[in-house]
A and B are shown apart, each in its own frame.
Chain A
Amino acid sequence: SQQGEEDPQALSIQEGENATMNCSYKTSINNLQWYRQNSGRGLVHLILIRSNEREKHSGRLRVTLDTSKKSSSLLITASRAADTASYFCATDAYNDYKLSFGAGTTVTVRA
């Protein structure tokens, strides 16, 4: 199964700033999902964007998908200390319904 690659690996920002992270993948997908993981915990689903969608919003989160470039981005606006976590993209490849996770971006929001 494929695995996405994310960059940057780590990101440190000041509270109130925006955080952007990117994900690239290799083969055709049904959808792409973003998850958050707090240290030592399970993952929490943030957003799912289907392959025929280009942009999706949920609260302070904005996700874009460019299937021609096989890439996605996650933007967190007006970040808060509580946004400190690792963020993973996951792809559900076409005809393969297992999720493959990227390496993750660790975001630290400084108060």
Chain B
Amino acid sequence: GAVVSQHPSWVICKSGTSVKIECRSLDFQATTMFWYRQFPKQSLMLMATSNEGSKATYEQGVEKDKFLINHASLTLSTLTVTSAHPEDSSFYICSARQGDYNSPLHFGNGTRLTVT
């Protein structure tokens, strides 16, 4: 089955530093990947749609300069949280779709980011 690998699974960083999260589709090519953010006991909030070879599409209210997304290949998308602050602490999850819009999303296991 389709597998999405996300790394790291958790990271602790100091305020002001940047953190990169990787999302890989291991056994399929993903022209589109999605990045979500989840607060404790809440739903997933779509942050951006990552498109291979082009700029990401950000949802309203998401800062492009803070959450840099790069989709350099058909199997890798990265999310960089720049100049992280404690309020950026959250659970970040990536996903990818193998097939058309009637196909399910395959999710990574998420990254728990804690900014101290």
Footprint of B on A, CB under 8 Å?
A: 1, 3, 30-31, 33, 35, 40-45, 48, 50, 88, 90, 92, 97-104, 106
Residues of A within 8 A of B102 (CB): 30-31, 48, 50, 92
Residues of B within 8 A of A31 (CB): 101-102
Footprint of A on B, CB under 8 Å?
A: 4, 6, 34, 36, 41-44, 46, 49, 59, 91, 93, 95, 101-110, 112
Complex contact B105–A45 (CB within 8 A): yes
User: Which chain A residue has the least Cβ–Cβ distance from B2?
Assistant: A45
Complex contact A42–B49 (CB within 8 A): no
Give Cα distance in the complex from A90 to B93, angstroms. 15
Complex contact B43–A42 (CB within 8 A): no
- 14 A–B contacts from the bound complex (CB under 8 Å): A1-B46, A33-B104, A33-B105, A40-B112, A42-B6, A43-B105, A45-B106, A50-B102, A92-B102, A98-B46, A99-B34, A100-B46, A101-B36, A103-B43
Give Cα distance in the complex from A48 to B107, angstroms. 15
Give Cα distance in the complex from A45 to B112, angstroms. 21
Residues of A within 8 A of B101 (CB): 30-31, 92, 97
